[in-house]
Structure 1
Amino acid sequence: MQVPKNVRHREVLATFLKLGLTSFGGPIAHLGYFHDELVRRRGWVSDKAYAELVALCQFLPGPASSQVGFALGMVRGRGVMGGLLAWIGFTLPSALALLMLVLVAGSLEGAIASGVIHGLKLVAVAVVAQAIWGMAIKLCPDLRRICLALLAMLGLAVTETALMQVGVIGLGALLGMVVCRESNGGSSPRASSHAQAPDGLILPVSRGLARGCLITFFVLLAGLPLMASGSLVDIFYRAGALVFGGGHVVLPLLETSTVETGRIAAETFLTGYGLAQAVPGPLFTFAAWLGAGMAQVTGGSVVAGSTLALVSLFLPGILLLIGVAPLWGRLSARAGARAALAGANAAVVGVLGMALYDPLWTTSVLNRLDVVIALAAFIALTRFSLAPWKLVLGMILIGVVRGMM
């Protein structure tokens, strides 16, 4: 029996709200939760179709897990509305939690509060170090890509600006087309104009809708700096449009645009990043914390600032997903495109490496005890697979103890 669209929409919202409340552990863990709940248990798509969706979303800028969720919502809801409901359900819990934390953060003062905040900074150090370690193993498996990562770090060591960060990723893609072709041999099956995946999955995206989303993406990317340069929408949209590699990679882009320009304090930035590890859902909801914090500085509406930042950071990835979906089969079959992606991903590892040093290490690891705590946290994450939210709770406890000493 045909399931009515409104029933499908309610199912999508309820399912992703459940995932948004329970999906701890970062983007890789989120993809595992999606597979278990939506592929294995509910059978929304096949394993092969799911793998194709993941490949598509990893190819694009933006938060891969949220883009996969949006695509799965479109499939089940048979349209963009299904995707929007999936995004709302998955994003809303963590965004609301971070907004509430912003509202109470100002009342936290004294040695204990300082100890807790410092502990959250050390969480950020450990989590980003874990991300770099895992990404380096996966994305830099040979000498050529290791050299691309080191070249990106060298470029940022000379001049660390938002433009340079984008430039080294672009250079990595260009060099990857030359040096990474052999390491990315092979091709994927060609898809139809409706983005048909190996097991018959069709993303409900028309050519007209896809074309409109791509035009909107580029108009906003070029037009916002001209019409509203330095505005909250401009800062977060540009970051969401230019970040490859997931939530952790957005850290240096946002730090350059917010902390270094004086829009938010470095301590507030790093505290929010630490708290973002403790809540479920996508790490990109860190934007809710930053938008609210920036609104507090300027005397604006905290809720409006949080909402604008959140939507602006996610919007470009969603526009690109819809716009590229009908073209993915032909694009992914090209060896040059896969090689360029390999080079860009290697450069991303270098960008993350510099972010680990500055601002994280330089502002968080202040003495020998901090070195020991950060190293222990890193080992707990990588060797014993400790959930990040458990690490956050442990660091809060350590911060309270240190504040009382």
Structure 2
Amino acid sequence: MSDNIKADQTPWAVLLIFLRLGLTCFGGPIAHLGYFRDEFVARRRWLSERSYADLVALCQFLPGPASSQVGIAIGLSRCGYAGALAAWIGFTLPSAIALMLFATGLSHFGHLVPAGALQGLKVAAVAVVAQAVWGMARTLCPDVARVTLMVATTCFVLLVPSPFAQVGSITLAATIGLFVFKPDQCEARELLPFPLRRRTGLLWLTLFFTLLVALPALSAAFPSQGLALMDVFYRVGSLVFGGGHVVLPLLQAEILPAGWVSNETFLAGYGAAQAVPGPLFSFAAFLGASMNQAPSGWLGGLICLTAIYLPSFLLVIGSLPFWERLRHNARTQAALMGVNASVVGLLLAALYQPVWTGAIQGPGDFGLALMALMGLMFWKLAPWLVVLGCGVVGGVLGLAL
């Protein structure tokens, strides 16, 4: 028994376990968390049910991809920093490689792909984002106050299309939440099994905020495409609240105005990201590989992927020593309620621009989007199957560009 436990506590073992999950975890972050619970609570008993629930609560509180952050924390609990890195590599590598291969094929052989097939991928993105908006709104906006905050955020960011408007709307929503919302008192929980000192956590959090300030300054002082990519993707990874789909409006506001990737390529890649297992943040690897300027290809994909995930590492490791006190703070919970409503509004705005306006160009597009949405919400089809079907139908019917 002890030999098995020791074998499970090596970075190599953690890598292989998460690699299998990265190859099989379809369905988005909520589904990923279900896979993780089956693997690490029910089967391997690395965490208790309550400890796992507390860990999920922490990662949903932080900006970034919740499922990937839970994986990083589980790897950290097994064998330290090497385990955290092994968990991230194993879970992220399959989807990142698949999307970089797709980007490379699109750039070299895109002329051979029927235009209707790419259009079908863009239409699939409409259905996927619409489903995400609906599901998140039902959970995070259950009352009039939060619905109002959601709609106000949507209108604001559509009227003021700027990354600063998006960040400002989240900040304002947090402030409103402090005064408007009254969260329920949290019940007592057991301590999380992560014996990190507060001094260590403070060091990682300081590094997070230092990079958030330093990268824009370095990018302005030493203009280069590589530094610009690091700045943009690190900043986006630091500000994404509410799950992987919310990365869409933030990236769209940064990438498209700069002319780094065309809107058609952006939406086609986002649609393709629904068809691969693993985290949606791997979409960053597709964008990096699709850049119109160097670095692009595999190097660009690696830079963007690393930059967008780096905040997750720093925030998870830095926050663990402080979480027990923070999660019981009523003011923190109230602010988070406002932030959650605001991010649903951000995603609703993205559903209109660029997803809807870039994909729905005729009755055929609209009909295919309705069929895809019905497949996701009522037939309960896997997202990858819906995306594949939209691509095939688009290629066969030659939907209007």
User: Deviation at 1:106?
Assistant: 2.3
Asked whether the equivalents of residues 205 and 325 of structure 1 are also in contact (C-alpha less than 8 Å), the reply is yes
2-structure distance, mates of 1:137, 1:215: 36
Q: For residue 205 of structure 1, give the secondary structure of its aligned residue in structure 2.
A: coil
Q: For residue 290 of structure 2, give the secondary structure of its aligned residue in structure 1.
A: helix
Instruction: Specify every segment of 5 or more residues in structure 2 that has no aligned partner in the other structure, as ranges.
Output: 221-226
Q: For residue 109 of structure 2, give the secondary structure of its aligned residue in structure 1.
A: coil
Q: For residues 27-83 of structure 1, give each alpha carbon's deviation from its aligned partner in whole angstroms, at most 9, with x where no partner exists.
A: 011001111111111111011111000000000000000000111111122x12111
Amino acid at match of 1:28: I
Q: For residue 108 of structure 1, give the secondary structure of its aligned residue in structure 2.
A: helix
Give the structure 1 partner of residue 219 of structure 2: 228
Asked whether the equivalents of residues 365 and 399 of structure 2 are also in contact (C-alpha less than 8 Å), the reply is no
2-structure distance, mates of 1:377, 1:110: 26
Q: For residues 147-176 of structure 1, give each alpha carbon's deviation from its aligned partner in whole angstroms, at most 9, with x where no partner exists.
A: 110111121122011000011111111101
Q: For residues 282-308 of structure 1, give each alpha carbon's deviation from its aligned partner in whole angstroms, at most 9, with x where no partner exists.
A: 0000000001111xx114352211111
Q: Which of 42, 48, 51 pairs up with 2:50?
A: 48
Q: Which of 192, 204, 208 pairs up with 1:213?
A: 204
Calculate the TM-score normalised by the size of structure 2: 0.94
Pair 1:304-2:299 in alignment: yes
Structure 1 window deviating more from structure 2 (301-310 vs 64-73): it is 301-310
* Cα gap change, 1:266 to 1:404, in 2 (>3 Å): closer
Give the structure 2 partner of residue 359 of structure 1: 354
1-structure distance, mates of 2:199, 2:322: 13
Q: Which of 261, 266, 280 pairs up with 1:264?
A: 261
Amino acid at match of 2:303: L
Asked whether the equivalents of residues 9 and 78 of structure 2 are also in contact (C-alpha less than 8 Å), the reply is no
Asked whether the equivalents of residues 124 and 386 of structure 2 are also in contact (C-alpha less than 8 Å), the reply is yes
Q: Which of 342, 346, 354 pairs up with 1:347?
A: 342
User: Deviation at 1:252?
Assistant: 0.7
Q: Which of 38, 60, 63 pairs up with 1:61?
A: 63
Give the structure 1 partner of residue 236 of structure 2: 239
2-structure distance, mates of 1:350, 1:227: 32
Amino acid at match of 1:71: A
User: Deviation at 1:5?
Assistant: 7.1
Amino acid at match of 2:229: L
Asked whether the equivalents of residues 112 and 399 of structure 1 are also in contact (C-alpha less than 8 Å), the reply is no
2-structure distance, mates of 1:320, 1:369: 44
Amino acid at match of 2:87: A
Asked whether the equivalents of residues 122 and 374 of structure 1 are also in contact (C-alpha less than 8 Å), the reply is yes
* Cα gap change, 1:373 to 1:6, in 2 (>3 Å): closer
User: Deviation at 1:112?
Assistant: 5.2
Give the structure 2 partner of residue 142 of structure 1: 143
Q: Taking every aligned residue pair, what percent have the same amino acid on both sides?
A: 49
In the TM superposition, structure 1's runs of 4+ consecutive aligned residues that sit over 4 Å from their partners are 109-112
Instruction: Specify every segment of 5 or more residues in structure 1 that has no aligned partner in the other structure, as ranges.
Output: 190-196
Aligned residues: 392
Q: Which of 238, 247, 257 pairs up with 1:250?
A: 247
Give the structure 1 partner of residue 98 of structure 2: 97
2-structure distance, mates of 1:145, 1:62: 22
Asked whether the equivalents of residues 288 and 309 of structure 1 are also in contact (C-alpha less than 8 Å), the reply is yes
| Superposition CA RMSD, Å | 1.7
2-structure distance, mates of 1:346, 1:363: 25
Give the structure 1 partner of residue 186 of structure 2: 187
1-structure distance, mates of 2:96, 2:233: 15
